[in-house]
Amino acid sequence: MNCVVITGSPHRAGTTALLADEFVRGASEAGHEVFRFDAAFEKIAPCLGCNRCRSGRCVHEDAMDALNPRLLAAETVVFVTPLYYFGMSAQIKRVIDRFYANNEALRENPRRGILMAACHDAEDWAMEGLVAHYRAILRYLNWTDGGVVLAKACGTRGDVENLEYPAQAYRLGRKLAP
């Protein structure tokens, strides 16, 4: 199965990078084809809302040109983000906004989304806004939820390494249904 993992942290070896690493390890071991896109290290322009994509192609020529064919071929799309001000990071949001150019195609085929996130706070409501946003995106796109890993009280890599979240991420990848 084709799987795209989009990460949104500027920390190459940070908290959420470990969750992504473990998911990719599990999914690869299970024989899935994984394409990882580390958005913070790619050139991605923000959507201009010009609607030129409605009568042709997006005006931007950037790393989305490499991601889009993978996205359109994917059965599973994994969103991996640090919690930034109770939502996803700007780095990953830029990518999701650019889905706009392919709304119809992305809504056509049944796909599965997965959310993996980390944050410093431990409160049970810390990620409510992020999860509500994720669920709204899935609902709009007609995608199903393949699972979430919410690593609370994980402000640093050292925190998450000592908790069960990396194992959860690995298991999600390993058990990804064909």
The CB density around residue 39, as the number of other CB atoms within 10 Å, is: 24
Return the bridge partners of 145, or none: 113
Tell me, rounded to whole angstroms, the distance of Cα 54 from its chain centroid: 25
Q: Of 63-71, 84-92, 139-147, 169-177, which segment contacts ligand FMN by CB under 6 A?
A: 84-92
Picking from 70, 75, 64, 71, the residue whose alpha carbon sits closest to that of residue 143 is: 75
CB 174 within 8 A of CB 149: no
Q: In the bound complex, what is the minimum distance in angstroms from residue 120's beta carbon to ligand FMN?
A: 4
d(CA 108, CA 170): 29
- Tell the smallest beta-carbon distance from residue 155 to ligand FMN (Å): 4
Beta bridge partners of 78: 5, 114
Q: Which of these segments, 6-14, 41-49, 91-99, 141-149, binds ligand FMN (CB under 6 A)? A: 6-14
| The one among 44, 126, 148, 169 contacting ligand FMN by CB under 6 A | 126
Pick from 173, 177, 178, 155: nearest CA to 29: 173
Only segment of 27-35, 80-88, 107-115, 162-170 that touches ligand FMN (CB under 6 A): 80-88
Verify binding: residue 17, ligand FMN, rule CB under 6 A. yes
Question: Residue 17 Cβ, how far from ligand FMN at the closest point, in Å?
Answer: 6
Closer CB to ligand FMN, residue 7 or residue 76? 7
Report if residue 121 touches ligand FMN, rule: CB under 6 A.
Answer: yes
Examine residue 15 and tell whether it contacts ligand FMN (CB under 6 A): yes
Both tokens of 24, joined, read 């990719």
